[in-house]
Amino acid sequence: MAKNYYDVLGVPKNATAKQIRDAYRRLSRKWHPDVNPGNKEAEEKFKEISSAYDVIGNEEKRKLYDEFGEEGLRPGFQPEAAREYKRWEGAQAGRQRTAEEFGRFHSYEDLFGDMFNFGRGGFSQTHPFKGSDIESSITIDLVSALKGMDTEVSLNKAKTCPTCKGTGVNPNTGLSTCTVCSGSGRINISRGPMQFTKTCPRCGGSGKIGKECPTCYGEGIIEGVERIRVTIPAGVKDGYRLRLPGKGEPGSPGGQPGDLYITVHVAEHPLLNREGDNLSMEVPITVREAMAGGTITVPTIEGQIRVKVPPKSQSGQRLKVRGKGAVNPKTGQRGDLFIKLIVKVPRTENEEALKAVEKLEDLYTENVRAGIRL
């Protein structure tokens, strides 16, 4: 039995988007394969967490999941048609439906199985449709987000059957015209509140009779793992949504595939902080550098740079280096780098050093804590 996605992330059904996002980040850090190398249980747990977040972490998918369960996430699922069927079913409560009125439909899953031909022996439908979009996510470090990177993601997704090319028919056997629908592939249904045609149960909508594909058993699609190369542009922020056209679920025969949307999460860095397009970092300096000034070496994402420290600098003072911040992916403009100076005193019991400090003490002209008030 499939697990409830809310239970997987440990959040209530009415959880906010922030609560869901925070739960995903906490659990993904705990169970990430890089943190648990060689641990198969952690790997499966991480996949389960990622799958849950891909659904309830996406507003549109979450709505479908809440209303229809996992059935609402199937490729080709039509929510409006499902709602119409539910309204019809509710109106028919207390009234017995005949087989002639409703055929072999017993639930909206059966209805869509026939309308969109996802059952066994489903060879094709009258009109091709675009495949469903896929939502996924990836977590990268801050430096990679600032520089941009190429990576690969592995997705468990449906793929067009390589044997039958999505038709569901064994290509190695001959076909003959269906005698039930006379080759049209559809049977008219004109009674009841919904007027529609249904797929011919004999030929599965193809108008031809043949044997089902031995690879996909007539489904036209198979489950598999696909490795997809992803280019993440420089300067992306946490929550950036990347679109890969045509990398979603396959469409019907002749239909275009859906798109893949990847949400980029950026992990915190132990030294660098990002504020908009600006970066900030703390850099330690010596007492001499603070008093007399000097030039220090500071690391950036583009390499080492030399920065001048003004004489009489104080601990906590901020220096601004223009154009060394993050690149804005939309404008191409760069922010600035702010360096917070942290004066470090030596840890020593050297008598000469302590005597020198005593002399420094005489240079203070006021109480350094005079302005502290609660």
Residue 305 lies in a domain: yes
CATH code, domain carrying 295: 2.60.260.20
Residue 232 lies in a domain: no
pLDDT band at 118 (very low <50, low <70, confident <90, very high): very low
pLDDT at 159: 78
- The tens digit of pLDDT for each residue in 146-169 reads 999 999 888 877 777 888 877 777
Q: For the ranges 7-11, 131-135, 280-284, which has the lowest average pLDDT?
A: 131-135
Q: Into how many domains does the chain fold? A: 1
Distance CA 42, CA 92 (A): 49
- On whether the CB atoms of residues 23 and 9 are closer than 8 A, the answer is yes
pLDDT at 7: 92
pLDDT at 333: 94
What's the one-letter identity of residue 356?
A
Residue 290 lies in a domain: yes
Mean model confidence pLDDT for the chain: 81
- The tens digit of pLDDT for each residue in 25-53 reads 889 888 887 788 888 888 888 888 888 88
Query: What is the pTM assigned to this prediction?
Result: 0.56
Residue 315 lies in a domain: yes
Residue 320 lies in a domain: yes
Give the chain as a 3 state SS string.
CCCCHHHHHCCCCCCCHHHHHHHHHHHHHHHCCCCCCCCHHHHHHHHHHHHHHHHHCCHHHHHHHHHHHHHHHCCCCCHHHHHHHHHHHHHCCCCCCCHHHHCCCCCHHHHHHHHCCCCCCCCCCCCCCCCCCEEEEEEECHHHHHHCEEEEEEEEEEEECCCCCCCCECCCCCCEECCCCCCCCEEEECCCCCCEEEECCCCCCCCEECCECCCCCCCCEEEEEEEEEEEECCCCCCCEEEEECCCCCCCCCCCCCCCEEEEEEECCCCCCEEECCEEEEEEEECHHHHHHCEEEEEEECCEEEEEEECCCCCCCCEEEECCCCCECCCCCCECCEEEEEEECCCCCCCHHHHHHHHHHHCCCCCCCCCCCCC
The pLDDT of residue 302 is above 70: yes
- The tens digit of pLDDT for each residue in 251-292 reads 765 578 889 999 999 998 999 999 999 999 999 999 999 999
Distance CA 223, CA 338 (A): 50
- The tens digit of pLDDT for each residue in 193-240 reads 545 667 777 776 777 777 778 888 777 778 778 889 999 999 999 999
Residue 285 lies in a domain: yes
pLDDT band at 336 (very low <50, low <70, confident <90, very high): very high
Residue 261 lies in a domain: no
Domain that holds residue 348: 273-361
Distance CA 278, CA 337 (A): 6
- Provide, rounded to the nearest whole percent, the portion of the chain with pLDDT above 70: 82
pLDDT at 149: 95
Residue 172 lies in a domain: no
The pLDDT of residue 110 is above 70: no
